[in-house]
Chains A and B, each alone.
Chain A
Amino acid sequence: MEMDASGVSRAPISVLPAAEVKATLKPEADKPRCSSTPCSPIKSTVSGYQILHMNSNYLVGFTTGEELLKLAQKWSSPDNSNTEALPSPIKKPVDLSLHRASRIYKAKSRYYQPYDIPAINGRRRRRMPSSGDGCLKSMVSGEPSKALHGPLPLCLLKGKRVYSKSLDYLNLDKMSLREPADTEVLQYQLQHLNLRGERVFNRNKT
């Protein structure tokens, strides 16, 4: 039985000894290999895992939390601000994930210079992906991996040991007031500031 939003039930499970699990595997037909992704039966390793099998027809890849943090540290390091364009087999990134990833790095990246959108009726318009693409393309060509993973998940930013890193990561204290920024980025950063303030306030109450 399974459970959906309307009820609770238990799903059936089958407990198999490891040997039987291997015996029930059907041989898989040979599939063309893609050079950009690990394919069976090549035994490759990813951040503490050994890939015994991966079917690229269904699974393009995966990224562990450790890898994401390493990438984030790499992206936020000062040495990485002048990253040269890296050759990549990927022609065009997913625009949405890139847009989300760019929200995190706008405050720091020297390559990204969004133009100021004039306010209309007191409200700033949301920046459309089609405008200022020249800047985005340069960032994309230099760091395509940023677009692949989206923004760093909050659960990694708020881990006990990485919390201080997340503040450095956002560079809130180094952000220049003169630096143009998208409204969404400011709202996101302000949200972090407000939440920190609330926590301090609650502690003072006790």
Chain B
Amino acid sequence: MAEIQDRGDLRDMEVWNGFISGGGLAAEEEVLLDWKPGDPVTPQYVLMLPGYTDGEDTTHQAVYLFFLFFYCDTFFSLLLLVMCTDYLCSPEDNVYNISFSRFKIRDLEGGSVILDLKRRCSTGDVIELDAGRFIQYHFSPTFLNLREIGATLEFTVGGKAVNKFRLIERHYFRDLLLKTFDFEIGFCIPYSRNTCEHIYCLPDLDSHTIEDMISHPFETRSDSFYFANNTLIMHHKAEYSFSQGLELNENQT
């Protein structure tokens, strides 16, 4: 600690966002009970979400009611039916200027690379910021046979250090929560480029669910919530298709 304080280039301790002092972090239990609409979104909040976020803004109030009635079992099952709102934060909430520069997914068992994307600087028309947080994937049905997938994220950080950088990703098929993934990336220094690989173990699904997922493209969805210091800073969405190419399935009605 003394060695760090002697360094002239670390004048602004706030830049490190509590990494050194350990301060600035709200108690997780207090955040859970005291949350109300308009408050920062925390990991505990998103872990309690009943479904994929694709509803209207009024559902923010619904989630607030959800916590109010959390201890009242009579209303609990009713509130579970409430769909949540769409994006839980705005693009401007990314105050750390985190930008994903490369994304790669690979099959860990077979070793083959499935997708490797490198982001280029956008040119031409102005792109809506919400559109930049959404993507559709067209997988083949054989993708569902994979067991472990490695997803490598390369991202850059702006002038503020990121403390307790964390990703919570939830995958749904319609109203069914398939699986939740929780990755704590940790601390990122300012003006850095970082690479991190996340290991996804695909859930064991019954054949009926798999068939439904294949025959109903884009009804499999995911929310990716990125947190820094237990506060939501980014929210990305994705939809997935596992259809057999683009041919008509005669069994579909």
Interface residues of A (CB under 8 A from B): 2-5, 8-18, 21, 25-26, 28, 40, 45, 48-66, 68-69, 90-97, 128-129, 147-150, 153-156, 158-162, 195, 198-199, 202
Contacts and interface: CB of A to CB of B under 8 A. Distances in A.
A26 B182 contact: no
A162 B115 contact: no
Given A64-B134, A65-B130, A65-B135, A5 B180 contact: yes
Given A65-B132, A153-B218, 10 more contacts: A8-B47, A12-B199, A49-B120, A57-B140, A66-B127, A69-B131, A153-B134, A155-B54, A156-B130, A158-B56
Contacts of A96: 215-217, 252
B5 interface: no
A50 B130 contact: no
B240 to A, nearest CB: 10
Nearest to A53: B116
B197 A94 contact: no
Contacts of B237: 153, 155
A4 B139 CA distance: 23
Contacts of B112: 26, 28, 55, 57-58
Interface stretch (B17-25, B30-38, B242-250): B242-250
Give the 10 A-B residue pairs with the shortest CB-CB distance, closest first. Answer: A159-B130, A65-B134, A65-B131, A92-B248, A53-B116, A52-B116, A26-B111, A60-B138, A150-B218, A63-B136
Contact of A9 (B115, B121, B182, B249): B182
A25 B130 contact: no
Contacts, number: 225
Contacts of A162: 128, 130-131
Contacts of B13: none
B195 A18 contact: yes
B95 interface: no
Contact of B199 (A14, A91, A161): A14
Interface in B39-74: 47, 53-54, 56-58
A2 B136 contact: no
Interface in B60-91: 86-87, 90
A11 B180 CA distance: 10
Nearest to A165: B128
